Amino acid sequence: MGVSGRVVKTNYFRRRLNGELDELASKYIGSYVEDKRLIDIDIRVDEAHTLMLYKQGEIKRHETKKILEALEIAREDRKKGKFEFKPEDIDIHIATERYVIKYAGLDTGGKLHTGKSRNDQVVTDVRIYTREQIINILELLLDFISSLAELSDEYKEDLMPGYTHGQHAQVTTIGYYLLGYTYGFLRDIDRLLNAYKTVNLSPLGACALAGTSIKIDRRYTAKLLGFDGIIENSMDAVSSRDFIVETLSALVLIMTKLSRMAEDLIDFSTYEYGFVVLPDKYCDISSVMPQKKNPDVLEMIRANAGKTNSLLAEVIMSTLRLPTGYFKDLQPTKKSLCEAIDIVKPSIVLMKGIIENLEYDVDRMKEVIEENYVTAPDLAEFMVQNKNLSFRESHMLVGELVKRAEQQKMNLKELSPKEIREISMNILGKDIRISKKELQDATNPLLSVERRGFAGPSPMAIKRSLKSLEPQIKKRRDNIKKIKNRLKSAEERFQKTKDDILS
């Protein structure tokens, strides 16, 4: 209703243009599909801006109250699933403002947009959404890391073959394998925490490009909304989407690790490997082959790692060679970010469930270790340490020993001391004498693991690593807790300020 009480029948947003936007064009340039997840955030941003306008004397108390009440109606409609997006709305900001004008009138509700633009509001909304999602992903990752650490301790003595180039390389343990991912995901925690610092700065009040002559207080709205500060330059505030690139880059690295784990487990679960049994609740069946147990969840994690990479590329290409200022080219970056987040969160949860419920065939792993030459590096190091050979000499000798063992279809430990002397004389011109016991000990898989104590897979080294990880994990948990507490305090101040007006 206007001041005169008449119903204003006009499109408030298209007076410059003749007629309505083409329906297909509206759908094509609109973002209301992904904006649905931003409704509450958009309302909150409008509330903060309204409170700031009142503080600055730009609107009166009764006007502030009417706008806040209209925004509350929008929020309640969202909760009931009744929030209306109309074809002409294009995006969430117009839809929310339409609510305010509908319930507060054009004369009062029309003041909501004073001193701001959709350009600064959209990036404010996306930054708030991104920080909320970063916190959620951080907590999911920390829970996963804790599970990996516990399982690493549980399986620290269980041998498994390690691979490079897809070939048997060295003896390791299940615990050491899991521990490696613990460290990797801990780095992802730090990347996301750094991204959070970039994300949690307020662009609100930058307006369309170069600020506004309205006497706004940007630091006040930033404080109400829980930002750590403001983006000082208005052109930078509305033009930049580097915070999305930074966040997506961290998400891509998370998915890359999950994809590598998925690839390992898919291979390890095959008959040819037989290292693990995948939990049934994370597998599917074949509609034709009744014997099949398909690792569909792992395959989708692997596929979605590629998808997140493409989403990052989309954002980079959308922002590449753009002039300074806001352009519609930036709108799809929001969709790419949302899609990546929707992939990463369930991927972490699902991989955690799979890892926690895996069955390991430790006997099969030992069998594979015994059947190949993964202790050859240990024998080479034994020669260096005990037989006065340079490493290259030792490498040459053990390479010949492996060749001989392969030809005779035997293990290294089955070679005779006499054969070793003959081969060493032939290729090195040195009489290397090694007893049967020395050969047995040098190629013993368990001793191989125990000898590699520093940063290696020995049970004691794993225990030391896990002990040093405890305070590191706690430190990250404390950091996340502090972030959440700061946001909670900001929310409480915000609510109190709002209640003072509405009461």
Identified catalytic residue from 286, 390, 416, 489: 286
- Any idea which residue has 């035997």 for tokens? 410
395 given a catalytic annotation: no
Distance CA 491, CA 469 (A): 33
Which DSSP helix (H) or strand (E) runs through 277?
strand 276-277
- Any idea which residue has 């008449």 for tokens? 6
Distance CA 11, CA 14 (A): 6
φ and ψ at 89, to 5 degrees? -70, -35
Burial class (CB in 10 A: 0-12, 13-18, 19+), 316: middle
Helix 118-154, helix 331-357: angle, nearest 10 = 10
- Any idea which residue has 């392969």 for tokens? 406
φ and ψ at 3, to 5 degrees? -65, -35
Residue 500, SS3 per DSSP: helix
Helix 92-104, helix 39-55: angle, nearest 10 = 60
Q: Which residues of 137-176 are buried (b: 16+ CB within 10 A; e: fewer)?
A: bbebbbebbebbbebbbebbbbbbbbeeeeebbbbbbbbb
Distance CA 327, CA 119 (A): 9
113 given a catalytic annotation: no
Which residues are CB-neighbours of 138 under 8 A, at least 6 positions away? Answer: 189, 192, 193, 476, 480
Q: Within 10 A of 329 (CB to CB), how many other CB atoms are there?
A: 14
DSSP letters, 91-135, are SHHHHHHHHHHHHH-HHHHTTTTTT--HHHHHHHHHHHHHHHHHH
Q: Is 67 left (phi over 0), alpha (psi -120 to 50) or beta?
A: alpha
Helix 174-199, helix 118-154: angle, nearest 10 = 160
Identified catalytic residue from 165, 213, 287, 503: 165
Q: Which residues are catalytic?
A: 165, 286
